[in-house]
Amino acid sequence: MNDPKDPPAPDAVPTWGPMRSFGRIRSRTLKPRQAALFDTLLPKVALPDPSQGPIDPLALMPGAQAVWLEIGFGGGEHLCAQAARHPEALMIGCEPFLNGVGSALRHIEEASLTNVRLHAGDARDVIKALPPSSLDRVMILFPDPWPKARHHKRRLIQPDFVAELVSRMKPGAELRFVTDWKAYGAHALEILGASEALEWMAEEAYDWRQAPHDHVTTRYEEKKLGDTAPIFLRFRRR
């Protein structure tokens, strides 16, 4: 894809495997309020255990007009803001970082959200349990970039993972990937662009440099911890 709108060329692309694509699952002791929400609120909003069998999103929220999935929701700011804007949609959020889950629970409680379901673990397990063509939007915002070459195999975006994820997306569903690491943006573009089932929505460089109109900026994004301004890659399921 030697196109002026392309990010720089990617590093070598490894094959996705079962190893973890995320690091530690807790960095500090949970705040008392968050710890209490694990006992009181999480049981009400937790996604069914994907290891126990298929998950029917419409059984979780009868009448839902759409199903969105956010992979690695961090502190839950984006997930819960989108849930508040779109009460008609079921928002499924996956995050293995327990402090992030605690933060999301606080946002859910404060906004009295009823359309959010959380999985405190690996999103790949949830994807396997979802029915084909069940997702209207997938959001992967600022995943761990694993910048060292020897760790590239741990990056979430790998060919096998993308193939399985796309099979769970409806025709016309949107996949959003955002990173602030130049090499990971190129890596993701190479793999996502190679999928015959996905169509890159960008028409000019502005499209991958500018956030979508309904993007929610989080505290993480504002910290600017990467090596580039955010790269917004948007694909549509053919």
Give the tens place of pLDDT for each residue, 84-128. Answer: 999 999 999 999 999 999 999 999 999 999 999 999 999 999 999
**Structural contact between residues 8 and 186, judged by C-beta atoms closer than 8 angstroms:** yes
- Which residue has better confidence, 200 or 27? 200
Strand 231-237 and strand 198-200: the pairing is antiparallel
pLDDT bucket at 25, cuts 50 / 70 / 90: low
Position 10 in a domain:
no
Q: Of residues 11, 125, 144, 207, which has the active-site annotation?
A: 144
Q: Which of 17-26, 36-45, 63-72, 167-176 has the lowest mean pLDDT?
A: 17-26
pLDDT bucket at 27, cuts 50 / 70 / 90: low
Mean pLDDT (the chain) is: 90
Q: Which domain holds residue 99?
A: 32-237
Active site residue 160: no
**Structural contact between residues 216 and 199, judged by C-beta atoms closer than 8 angstroms:** no
Position 75 in a domain:
yes
Instruction: Please give the Cα distance from 237 to 162 (Å, whole number).
Output: 11
Position 223 in a domain:
yes
Position 1 in a domain:
no
Q: pLDDT value at position 6? A: 43
Residue 22 has pLDDT above 60, yes or no: no
92-119 burial: b if 16+ Cβ within 10 Å, else e: bbbbbbbbbbbbbbbbbeeeebebbbbb
Residue 8 has pLDDT above 50, yes or no: no
Position 7 in a domain:
no
Position 13 in a domain:
no
Position 15 in a domain:
no
Q: What is the CATH number of the domain that holds 66?
A: 3.40.50.150
Position 228 in a domain:
yes
**pTM of the complete model:** 0.88
Provide the domain count of the chain: 1
